[in-house]
């Protein structure tokens, strides 16, 4: 669990733009994105809000910087024209890995993907891969957007994540949801009762994310295979 800044840490770390962004991400991961505010961050650093304005002009700039930080963690795969659509898998996996670092901030990736250099480079690569695999401009744009939406949904919707609930309340919220499912009448909802734990827990995140990425790529491959063969 992420704790507030200790007095020792506060004395040893100078207030900086990087420190403000890092702490804002930690607050969002712990208490949800709505908990992030200039006043909250200033209180945690034990400075006035005016001191933060030297580093970020306002909350909108702070949120943008948080989104950029998340996307900066992506690693673009090495271009290999023989990989068919496997390169798209590597790109989507890198995006999911970046989002998983700060699951409480996934929505920021949607707003910043085309606004920062890291997001633009990733988008350019995705479009390049799709166009090289025979998809039209419209199809490539739609599939690239769906890849981003799929990655965000996987991370923010992971069973047990509860990213909008403060961390110290998540166990109770999950227990309540699980109990509600388990208490349903089995004659009407046998499978909901059977899957109550699975719907509220994710013991193997690697398998969960891998299955989600596989599902998206299977759809892309199916669309590609339905295209009429080129006439020589």
pLDDT tens-digit series, residues 29-77? 999 999 999 999 999 999 999 999 899 999 999 999 999 999 999 998 8
Cα atoms in the Cβ-side hemisphere of radius 13 Å centred on 133: 26
Global confidence as pTM = 0.86
How confident is the model at residue 12, as a pLDDT? 34
**Residue among 87, 106, 120 nearest 163 (CA):** 106
How confident is the model at residue 83, as a pLDDT? 63
**Cα–Cα distance between 228 and 232 in angstroms, integer?**
12
**Cα–Cα distance between 122 and 33 in angstroms, integer?**
24
**Cα–Cα distance between 184 and 12 in angstroms, integer?**
54
Handedness of CA 69, 159, 170, 162 (dihedral sign): positive
**Cα–Cα distance between 137 and 120 in angstroms, integer?**
16
Report pLDDT digits (tens) over 147-186.
999 999 999 999 998 888 888 999 999 999 999 999 999 9
**Residue among 59, 61, 13 nearest 36 (CA):** 59
Mean pLDDT across the chain, nearest whole number?
Answer: 89
Cβ atoms of 112 and 68 within 8 Å: the answer is: yes
**Residue among 121, 131, 128, 127 nearest 98 (CA):** 121
**Cα–Cα distance between 34 and 42 in angstroms, integer?**
16
DSSP state of 96: H
Confidence of residue 2 (pLDDT cuts 50, 70, 90): very low
Report pLDDT digits (tens) over 102-139.
998 999 999 999 999 999 999 999 999 999 999 999 99
Tokens 């047990």 -> residue: 160
Tokens 């299955």 -> residue: 211
């Amino acid at each position: 669990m992420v704790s507030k800044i200790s007095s020792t840490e506060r004395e040893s770390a100078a207030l900086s733009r990087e420190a403000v962004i890092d702490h804002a991400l930690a607050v969002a991961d712990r208490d949800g994105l709505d908990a992030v505010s200039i006043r909250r961050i200033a209180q945690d650093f034990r400075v006035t809000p005016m001191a933060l304005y030297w580093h970020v002009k306002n909350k909108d700039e702070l949120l943008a910087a948080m989104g950029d930080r998340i996307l900066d963690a992506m690693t673009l795969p090495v271009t290999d024209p023989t990989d068919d659509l496997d390169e798209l898998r590597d790109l989507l996996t890198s995006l999911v890995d970046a989002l998983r670092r700060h699951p409480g901030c996934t929505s920021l990736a949607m707003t910043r993907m085309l606004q920062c250099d890291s997001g633009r480079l990733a988008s350019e690569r995705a479009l390049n891969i799709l166009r090289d695999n025979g998809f039209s401009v419209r199809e490539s744009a739609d599939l690239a957007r769906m890849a981003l939406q799929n990655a965000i949904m996987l991370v923010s919707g992971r069973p047990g994540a509860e990213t909008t609930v403060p961390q110290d309340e998540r166990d109770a919220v999950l227990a309540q949801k699980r109990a509600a499912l388990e208490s349903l009448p089995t004659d009407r909802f046998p499978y909901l009762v059977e899957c109550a734990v699975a719907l509220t827990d994710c013991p193997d995140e690697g398998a969960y994310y891998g299955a989600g990425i596989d599902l998206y790529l299977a759809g892309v491959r199916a669309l590609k295979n339905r295209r009429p063969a080129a006439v020589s």
